Structure 1
Amino acid sequence: MADSLTFRDLGLSTAALRAVKSHPDWTAPTLVQQLVIPKLLEDIGSPRKRSIWCEAPTGSGKTAAYGLPLLQNTQTACFREPNALIQGGISSIIILPTRELAVQVGVVLSELAQNMSRGGFNIMVLYGGTPLQSQVDRMDEYARSGETIHAVVATPGRFLDVMARVEHPTLLDNLRYLVLDEADKLMGNGFAKELDGVLNLLPRKVPTWLFSATFSKSMVPQVADVMKRLEIEMELVGPASTIDLRTIRLHQRDRTQVLRSLLEANKEWDRVLVFVATRYACEHVSRKLRRLGIPSSDLHGKQDQDIRSQQLESFRRGHTRVLLATDLASRGLDVTALSAVVNYDLPRSSADFIHRVGRTGRAGCKGVAVTFLTADSEAHLNLIESRHLAEPVAREIYPGFEVD
């Protein structure tokens, strides 16, 4: 992504550029803004509404990265769909973990909105430590008047408190966007229950923009749960993902030999998790690797719990280098310092692809995720990439295992 890009190059409207100009220190878009803004503006007039998971550390300019598209999309919808935003209710929700962050984002969003359309946006900021009833009364007032609240910026606990007391159950029926800012904190133990409550209130298929400091392995199960509950597909976007994605095109019959070659060529891979589709493949490939002198074990749903615990503990301690596993058996698997993941078989669910590759690579550490691509699985991988990746992963041909 070129450093010389300007905000105008990102597709922002005249009104949005005017708002940018009101911030003299915003001289050029940050890398996160360059990556995110054009992608989130693409949904205007399109039946496809994008949902993303963006790696955006503190100080990366993420508030403007989602704030500008959110306001521009809302403003454009007012012109293109004159009845879309006069039905009342809440148009967008931004959930953040702390009151300080809610105040900060509320100020930035209000300033942008004021410079884009003077008095044209209704924005509410909800957080604890302020009178609850006054916020409930204001929400009810908007609802009674039929005015749209274009953005609610809130901590999850206060949002739930307000929504439990308002008298208008249809406030969320016209929701257009959900933003989860600092999602890595929202999905932690301190906020997980409250976030769960927020998700329970929302309509399905609402476009969701999730921002976190890193593509953390520990977040993958929660992100997969958000995708499932909201019935959305989420695309990874980020300037510095710690996961090196590789795709190797090969014949199905050559997969075990290529796996062996990869393991021999990458001695630094001390813990490798290999995903397969069936119990038979688990046992068969694991047995073959052991015969080749590579310490391997298998994990599948038909094993007794004692056996599974022993296999997993051996892998955790480094006694076993390679663990073959099915998706079902690997749920909740927690192994630190996982060097590589190999998709020997593709998962049935595209969400499981994100769940798998997210098990390697974390803040400060690099990980590798290798996918074996056969002729039969190409269409499925193309679908997964279109839903979850910014661009397709380059196809490799492994030396000595060329395909026709």
Structure 2
Amino acid sequence: MSFNSLGLSDALLKAVSKQGYTTPSPIQQKAIPLILERKDVLASAQTGTGKTAGFTLPMLQILSQGQQLRHRPIRALVLTPTRELAAQVYDNVKEYSAFLDIRSTVIFGGVNQRPQVATLRNGVDVLIATPGRLLDLHNQKLLSLANVEILVLDEADRMLDMGFLRDIKKIMSIMPAKRQNLLFSATFSKDIKALANDILHHPILVEATPENSTVDAIDQKVYRVAKGLKSDLLVKLISDGNWEQVLVFTRTKHGANKLTKKLISSNISAMAIHGNKSQGARTKALDGFKKGTTRVLVATDIAARGLDIPLLPHVVNYELPNISEDYVHRIGRTGRAGASGEAVSLVSADETSFLRDIEKLVGQRIPSEIIEGFEPDPNASTEPFKPGQGRQRNANPRNSNTNKPKSGNANRNRNNRNKRPNRHNDRKE
């Protein structure tokens, strides 16, 4: 099948050809015709499946065929959970609308709003936005959603994880009730289905790949290790393996910063990317990683969601996610486009149950080994870290300090401050 058979206009086909694409991906083949028919669509598609073009191309065609209003009000709104994903979608919209009379812009927090407001005042047809900045500008009466014809929720599952449900509902209330709705999510959780019921009208369900499937080209491996030895083991793996481009996942922002400092002190160039970083710092870190000047990018799940890093050879789970599906999202960033990739997980005793859940989800036992000198602590507790609570006491023997005793309450309070669950850490976009 070619793009010519999907019902797209010559202008869009020319733009697609200019980008070097000839054959649509499965999600594009299924979604584009339905969207062109003005159907509401609920699509399961992970990053790297071509989903952005799957909704961008038909959206642009519908807008180009509609009536062009004099003042160019916002006619299509694309909501994304993170700044990086918003910028990426905006780039795609610009590329695919190169031969159309369509104006677009992107707005997100962390940067000065004035240039964004100036562009909005000139009129745009397509707005790509993160929920926080969108509501902020709307509350200042600097934009209107009264003419929105098409709404896209991209990576809706991650938006719910980040706590954006209330914002999404507010945004729904300030748009016309009659509109086309497109919801894209990597998973169809109970919460996603509830959101779809609230937003979509008789939606068509589209699945590009079996839910939670993994990429066959990825070589998955587990290293059992004492928690306090994880950073040293990571340094050894990167150095001995001469790994030149490594994406490392931590559970928290604090953990990402701490690990980055450790890598740098070991003469391994590294930068962290998470919600507390300014937009300039996040852009710099990603650019350096893509160009090869930064060897290791340390990221939280939310900050890394939507990052487009082609031919990434190594992904490391420095800490296993407590949500099994996030493991699939993480390792799916390598082994793309037919290339081989390696996904390594450093697993301590308190992550044992997380590993079991992941193996159950992917339907296989992941090969495990122990490296001499980095053996797991036989006395460590296997009781897991629980979202909303601190780490279990004595799970990491290196964290205990017999010279400075603390009360049980003090330990718990300190841990609760520093070890918040990852899904809420990067809430504000």
TM-score of the pair, normalised by structure 2 = 0.47
- Which deviations, in whole Å up to 9, do the C-alpha atoms of 1:357-384 show, x marking residues without a partner? xxxxx9758xxxxxxxxxxxxxxxxxxx
- Counterpart Cα distance in 2 of 1:204 and 1:182: 22
Aligned to 2:74: 90
User: Quick one: structure 1 residues 167 and 55, their matched pair in 2 at CA, closer, same or farther if it must change by over 3 Å?
Assistant: closer
Q: 1:235 aligns with which of 200, 204, 210?
A: 204
- Counterpart Cα distance in 2 of 1:175 and 1:87: 14
SS at match of 1:54: strand
Q: 2:31 aligns with which of 31, 36, 54?
A: 36
User: Quick one: structure 1 residues 96 and 363, their matched pair in 2 at CA, closer, same or farther if it must change by over 3 Å?
Assistant: farther
User: How far has the Cα of 1:111 moved from its partner?
Assistant: 1.3
User: How far has the Cα of 1:236 moved from its partner?
Assistant: 1.1
Q: Is the 8 Å Cα contact of residues 3 and 23 (structure 2) preserved in structure 1? A: yes
Aligned to 2:106: 125
User: How far has the Cα of 1:167 moved from its partner?
Assistant: 4.9
Q: 1:156 and 2:156 equivalent?
A: no
1:327-346 to structure 2, matched below 5 A, reads none
User: Quick one: structure 1 residues 207 and 364, their matched pair in 2 at CA, closer, same or farther if it must change by over 3 Å?
Assistant: farther
SS at match of 1:53: strand
User: How far has the Cα of 1:200 moved from its partner?
Assistant: 2.1
Q: Is the 8 Å Cα contact of residues 187 and 222 (structure 1) preserved in structure 2? A: no
User: How far has the Cα of 1:37 moved from its partner?
Assistant: 0.8
1:175-214 to structure 2, matched below 5 A, reads 175-214=148-187
1:5-404 to structure 2, matched below 5 A, reads 5-24=1-20, 26-43=21-38, 50-77=39-66, 81=67, 84-86=68-70, 88-114=72-98, 116-117=99-100, 120-139=101-120, 141-142=121-122, 147=123, 149-167=124-142, 171-227=144-200, 232-240=201-209
Q: Which amino acid aligns with 2:115?
A: S
- Counterpart Cα distance in 1 of 2:53 and 2:112: 29
User: Quick one: structure 1 residues 156 and 167, their matched pair in 2 at CA, closer, same or farther if it must change by over 3 Å?
Assistant: closer
Q: Where do 5+ consecutive residues of structure 2 fail to align? A: 213-359, 364-429
User: Quick one: structure 1 residues 124 and 242, their matched pair in 2 at CA, closer, same or farther if it must change by over 3 Å?
Assistant: closer
Q: Is the 8 Å Cα contact of residues 34 and 41 (structure 2) preserved in structure 1? A: no
SS at match of 1:88: coil
SS at match of 1:102: helix
Q: Which amino acid aligns with 1:190?
A: G
Q: Is the 8 Å Cα contact of residues 85 and 91 (structure 1) preserved in structure 2? A: no
Q: Which amino acid aligns with 1:239?
A: A
User: How far has the Cα of 1:105 moved from its partner?
Assistant: 0.8
Q: Is the 8 Å Cα contact of residues 214 and 241 (structure 1) preserved in structure 2? A: no
User: How far has the Cα of 1:237 moved from its partner?
Assistant: 1.3
User: How far has the Cα of 1:221 moved from its partner?
Assistant: 1.7
User: How far has the Cα of 1:74 moved from its partner?
Assistant: 1.0
Q: Which amino acid aligns with 1:63?
A: T
Q: Which amino acid aligns with 1:22?
A: K
- Which deviations, in whole Å up to 9, do the C-alpha atoms of 1:331-362 show, x marking residues without a partner? xxxxxxxxxxxxxxxxxxxxxxxxxxxxxxx9
Q: Which amino acid aligns with 1:98?
A: T
- Which deviations, in whole Å up to 9, do the C-alpha atoms of 1:18-56 show, x marking residues without a partner? 0101112x231100000011111123xxxxxx1110011
User: How far has the Cα of 1:188 moved from its partner?
Assistant: 2.4
Q: Is the 8 Å Cα contact of residues 44 and 211 (structure 2) preserved in structure 1? A: no
Q: Where do 5+ consecutive residues of structure 1 fail to align? A: 44-49, 244-361, 366-404
Q: Is the 8 Å Cα contact of residues 181 and 199 (structure 2) preserved in structure 1? A: no
- Which deviations, in whole Å up to 9, do the C-alpha atoms of 1:117-155 show, x marking residues without a partner? 2xx22111001121123323432x23xxxx4x2100011
- Counterpart Cα distance in 2 of 1:67 and 1:51: 14
Q: Is the 8 Å Cα contact of residues 40 and 180 (structure 2) preserved in structure 1? A: yes
- Which deviations, in whole Å up to 9, do the C-alpha atoms of 1:6-27 show, x marking residues without a partner? 0101111111100101112x23
User: Quick one: structure 1 residues 193 and 237, their matched pair in 2 at CA, closer, same or farther if it must change by over 3 Å?
Assistant: same
User: Quick one: structure 1 residues 66 and 106, their matched pair in 2 at CA, closer, same or farther if it must change by over 3 Å?
Assistant: same
- Counterpart Cα distance in 2 of 1:197 and 1:58: 27
- Counterpart Cα distance in 1 of 2:16 and 2:107: 25
Aligned to 1:286: none
User: Quick one: structure 1 residues 14 and 138, their matched pair in 2 at CA, closer, same or farther if it must change by over 3 Å?
Assistant: closer
Q: Is the 8 Å Cα contact of residues 135 and 162 (structure 1) preserved in structure 2? A: no
Q: Which has the larger radius of gyration?
A: 1
User: Identity rate of aligned residues, in percent?
Assistant: 35
- Counterpart Cα distance in 2 of 1:363 and 1:176: 38
Q: Which amino acid aligns with 1:31?
A: P
